[in-house]
Amino acid sequence: METRSSPKLRRLRCSVQKYDWGRRGAESRVAKLFALNSGAEADPDRPYAEFWMGTHGSGPSFLLPAGCGNGGHKVSPDVTLKAWISSNPDVLGDKVVDEWGCDLPFLFKELKQVLCDVPEIAELVGSTDVEKFIKLGEQEVEKAKCLLQSIFTKLMSASADIVALAVSQIKSRLELEGQVRPLTDKEQLVLRLEKQYPADVGVISAFFLNYVRLNPGEALYLGANEPHAYVSGECIECMATSDNVVRAGLTPKTKDIQTLCSMLTYKQGFPDILKGVPLKTYITRYIPPFDEFEVDRCVLPKGSSAVFSAVLGPSIFLVTDGEGTINVGSVKQDVVAEGYVLFVPANVEIHVTSVTELHVYRAGVNDRFLKSRELENGKKSQI
């Protein structure tokens, strides 16, 4: 497929993460997007977990060389997006450079009843803290956090043999109870996890977490130091660029229990489900309370058009379904299709037209932050 690129846009070849929890090649949407994006064949026997778009060192994106959709602008075959941005910082916009330097700040990768209903937890961690926690009043938030940290630390620090026994007891009890009553969604989840990760402490940890099912078009955000795990399905994830990952369970990778238990927030409650804010026809914006990023979702019916207004910071565009064209102003159009990833500099308006139904996601620096910085700089210049 021949494409003609605007000099403003840079098509990217991105990286894939083959974590053990990913879906196998033939079943993985991540593998399909990676194959379409890179031209490499997916290994049907390997797990494909995450398709990374950004400047993270563990999964960098590369600019495609001339003749691959960069409008004739010569680019060496192995130039990373991060290196190219470092040489062209103007593409980020002044506000982003001032705050984060020459890099992208984003990477486009109730409990009391539970403790009563799961006796194996009290047996494992000891009944004293559990009984204190159950007796707490609703206003004793800080005491609850301290006790919850103590309970969770004892759980995570338990020996492998003790954990394996507790998991086995939970499994046996739930299988028996499932014959006389419907199991809850979380109880069914625990049995599913036990099949995948037998004797893993993460199976028990699931009782401490919310079980959230998202419908298409819904999103949620997680703050720093809040544990999470993807159970099934595929999604678009955006996060602040960071290497600060501490694992708890449900993985063969190294776990840092002491750091994990000391860093968690131990907040209780159910996360907010974001429906998104209608930005304009066909475009919905998801705005977390973080400066580093926001995400736009665009679903274009066949033969329709949409405009992504120019913003003060850089963006990455991902096409997950369909085929269409993208152009900048009067510049000739780029043909785009499933698996295409584009870097868009600051202050560039993008026009998108669909040939078939087209699904496009945009990740960029939070517009609220950019506008607040612009306002601050405007006030300073008036003084």
The DSSP secondary structure of 176-189, one letter per residue, reads HHTTTSPPPHHHHH
- Who's near 366: CB < 8 A, 6+ residues apart? 287, 288, 290, 291, 292, 293, 294
For position 244, what pLDDT does the model report?
64
Q: Taking Cα atoms as reference points, which of 297, 362, 352, 298 lies closest to residue 328?
A: 352
For position 268, what pLDDT does the model report?
75
Residue 160: CA count within 13 A, CB half-sphere: 4
Query: Which range, of 230-234, 250-254, 318-322, averages the lowest pLDDT?
Result: 250-254
Distance of CA 233 to the CA centre of its chain: 13
Band the pLDDT of 39: cuts 50, 70, 90: confident
pLDDT digits (tens, 9 = 90+) for 293-304: 899 999 999 999
Let me know if 247 is a catalytic residue: yes
On the question of pLDDT at 71 being above 90, the answer is: no
For position 69, what pLDDT does the model report?
45
For position 66, what pLDDT does the model report?
55
> Do residues 348 and 290 lie in contact, with contact meaning Cβ atoms separated by under 8 Å?
no
Share of the chain above pLDDT 70, in %: 87
Average pLDDT, the chain: 83
For position 6, what pLDDT does the model report?
54
On the question of pLDDT at 269 being above 80, the answer is: no
Spatial separation of the C-alpha atoms in residues 236 and 319, rounded to whole Å: 11
For position 247, what pLDDT does the model report?
66
Band the pLDDT of 344: cuts 50, 70, 90: very high
For position 49, what pLDDT does the model report?
81
Dig out the tokens for 13 from the structure. Answer: 């070849």
Q: Taking Cα atoms as reference points, which of 247, 266, 244 lies closest to residue 256?
A: 247
Cα-based angle 353, 356, 360 (whole degrees, multiple of 5): 60
Share of the chain above pLDDT 90, in %: 27
The DSSP secondary structure of 127-152, one letter per residue, reads HHHHHHHHH--TT-HHHHHHHHHHHH
- Mean pLDDT of the 216-225 span: 85
- Mean pLDDT of the 305-333 span: 89
pLDDT digits (tens, 9 = 90+) for 44-61: 888 888 888 888 887 888
Higher pLDDT, 284 or 30: 284
For position 315, what pLDDT does the model report?
93
Higher pLDDT, 350 or 382: 350
- Mean pLDDT of the 268-273 span: 78
Which strand (E) or helix (H) includes residue 120? helix 119-125
Bridge partners of residue 296, in order along the sequence: 285, 362
Query: Active-site residue among 4, 24, 29, 247?
Result: 247
Spatial separation of the C-alpha atoms in residues 153 and 110, rounded to whole Å: 19
For position 380, what pLDDT does the model report?
58
pLDDT digits (tens, 9 = 90+) for 155-213: 888 899 999 999 999 999 999 999 998 888 889 999 999 998 889 888 998 888 888 88
**What DSSP state is assigned to residue 237?**
-
